[in-house]
Amino acid sequence: MRDKDSARLSTLRLINAAIKDRDIAARADGNDNGVGEPEVLAILGRMVKQRRESMKTYEEGGRLDLAEREANEIVVIEEFLPRALNQDEVSAAVDSAVAEVGASSIRDMGRVMGVLKTKYTGQMDFGAVGPLVKDRLSA
């Protein structure tokens, strides 16, 4: 607020509102502790994903000003997410999860993805990891 950075302030308010909404919903469901860190990371991950999709749509529609605004929001949101894993680290994490679960066929994919989501929420794009897991299990 003191820096007069209205775009950053707006994004931080959106993050705060999303977390508070989820916290209120959790308390209404009987969870007196509210939202935990994994849920906050999941919320932030969804916010980044939504903005990437919006950015793509705006670019296709020729609205580069709106696409740039979405890109700026992504930068602010990603400040609060853990560092994203690189391709080698993702591959190692998939191998580790397959070994941990003892997966041997494509039917174990859900269990492998579950392990990955518990350990690496906010650190990898699970949409991109799914095909990698599928390839590992079908080989």
pLDDT over threshold 90, residue 82: no
pLDDT of 3-49, one tens digit each? 777 888 999 999 999 999 999 988 888 777 778 888 888 899 889 98
More confident residue, 104 or 67: 67
Under 8 Å between Cβ of 116 and 97: yes
Query: Is the domain 6-78 a CATH 1.10.1510.10 member?
Result: yes
Q: pTM for this structure?
A: 0.71
Return d(Cα 112, Cα 80) in angstroms, integer. Answer: 26
More confident residue, 60 or 129: 60
User: What is the model's pLDDT at position 57?
Assistant: 96
Name the CATH code of domain 87-138 (choices 1.10.20.140, 3.40.50.970, 3.40.50.2000, 1.10.10.410): 1.10.10.410
Instruction: Indicate the SS3 state at residue 136.
Output: helix
User: What is the model's pLDDT at position 51?
Assistant: 94
Which contacts of 13-22 are long-range, i.e. CB under 8 A and separated by 24 or more positions? 14/47, 14/73, 15/43, 15/44, 15/47, 15/77, 15/80, 18/43, 18/47, 19/43
Residue spans of the domains in the chain: they are 6-78, 87-138
pLDDT over threshold 70, residue 1: no
pLDDT over threshold 90, residue 136: no
pLDDT of 94-121, one tens digit each? 889 888 888 888 888 889 898 888 888 7
